[in-house]
């Protein structure tokens, strides 16, 4: 489902995004606790920079739009409003999809919301743009899970269609500062890093847990390669900042040949 974030400037980690919702999903460890849904807007309130980025990509797309891990529609609703198009939203969280339905109704926009696993993505019409905001791909536990997702994305993109996403660029100095620290903002929680598993756990005081597994630049480039996509750009931020050794964000745009 929706977004994940780690916000070093505010020294909190967080968001929440992936959970199998049917017996047929073999997603490994559960990384999304529905208890987060009730106050998700509080946890995601600082996530605004990505919206304009994905809106602009959608404006340039000539065809169907698809958001993976649509969550409560935080990005999909502005995209639908700006483009006047229906946005297909895929998510595994019933609670978040219900929020997205309500939000779309209030905004008067058209979202086609589907309770589904992004690793089993299937579309009847090729998409001009598929995007996955808010670091949500990091809620897939293994490289194989991500490869399966990428390999499902490529064949459902139209020729020259684009696949875009952003992800955490892991910083060991920030991780060392946050590891094991109890924090109050935006709600009582503790962040734990399992370096051997490339995993970050955000554990709320009520026990609700969000997990993400970080990836390196070469791992992302490998996924692009095996999926038969072509790299269009890699930036270090949503305003086109160059990706450098100090970047804290991967912002990828790829294209189907």
CA distance 122 to 239: 31
For the entire predicted model, the pTM comes to 0.88
Q: Residue 92 sits in which domain range? A: 4-169+216-255
Residue 124 lies in a domain: yes
Q: Is there a domain that residue 185 lies in? A: no
Closest CA to 204 of 42, 40, 36: 36
Residue 226 lies in a domain: yes
Count of domains observed in the chain: 1
pLDDT at 41: 76
How far is residue 39's CA from residue 110's CA, in Å, rounded to a whole number?
24
pLDDT at 33: 74
* Two structure tokens written together for 129: 């743009």
What pLDDT is attached to residue 7?
Answer: 38
- Is 176 part of any domain? no
CATH number of the CATH domain containing 24: 3.40.50.150
pLDDT (tens, 9 = 90+) of the chain, 257 residues, equals: 443 434 333 323 333 233 333 333 343 444 567 787 777 777 777 788 999 999 999 999 999 999 999 999 999 999 999 999 999 999 999 999 999 999 999 999 999 999 999 999 999 999 999 999 999 999 999 999 999 999 999 999 999 999 999 999 999 888 889 999 999 988 899 999 998 999 999 999 999 988 999 999 999 999 999 999 999 999 999 999 999 999 999 999 999 99
Question: What is the model's pLDDT at position 2?
Answer: 42
Domain membership flag for residue 208: no
Answer yes or no: is 206 within a domain.
Answer: no
Q: Residue 20: what pLDDT?
A: 35
- Quote the pLDDT of residue 42: 72
**pLDDT for the residue numbered 197:** 93
**In degrees rounded to 5, what are phi and psi of residue 119?**
-75, -10
Domain annotation covers residue 193: no
Provide the strand spans (E) within the chain.
Answer: 4-7, 12-15, 65-68, 87-91, 111-115, 127-132, 157-168, 182-183, 189-194, 199-204, 209-213, 230-235, 249-255
Q: What is the phi-psi region of residue 15: left when phi exceeds 0, alpha when psi lies from -120 to 50, beta otherwise?
A: left
In a domain, 180, yes or no: no
């Amino acid at each position: 489902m929706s977004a994940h974030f780690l916000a070093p400037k505010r020294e909190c980690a967080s968001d929440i995004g992936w959970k199998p919702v049917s017996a047929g999903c073999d997603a490994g460890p559960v990384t999304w606790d529905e208890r987060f849904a009730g106050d998700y807007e509080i946890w995601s309130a600082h996530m605004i920079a990505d919206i304009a980025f994905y809106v602009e990509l959608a404006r340039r797309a000539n065809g169907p739009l698809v958001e993976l891990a649509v969550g409560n529609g935080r990005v999909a609703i502005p995209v639908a409003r700006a483009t006047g198009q229906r946005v297909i939203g895929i998510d595994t969280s019933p609670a978040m999809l219900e929020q997205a339905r309500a939000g779309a109704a209030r905004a008067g926009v058209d979202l086609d919301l589907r309770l589904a696993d992004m690793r089993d993505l299937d579309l009847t019409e090729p998409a001009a743009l598929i995007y996955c905001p808010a670091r949500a791909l990091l809620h897939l536990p293994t490289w194989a899970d991500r490869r399966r997702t990428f390999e499902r994305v490529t064949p459902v993109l139209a020729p020259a269609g684009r696949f875009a996403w952003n992800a955490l660029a892991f910083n060991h100095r920030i991780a060392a500062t946050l590891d094991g620290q109890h924090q109050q903002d935006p709600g009582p929680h503790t962040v734990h890093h399992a370096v051997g598993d490339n995993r970050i756990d955000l554990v709320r005081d009520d026990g609700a847990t969000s997990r993400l597994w970080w990836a390196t630049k070469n791992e992302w480039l490998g996924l692009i390669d095996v999926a038969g996509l072509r790299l269009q750009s890699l930036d270090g931020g949503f305003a086109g900042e160059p990706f450098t050794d100090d970047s804290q964000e991967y912002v990828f745009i790829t294209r189907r040949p």
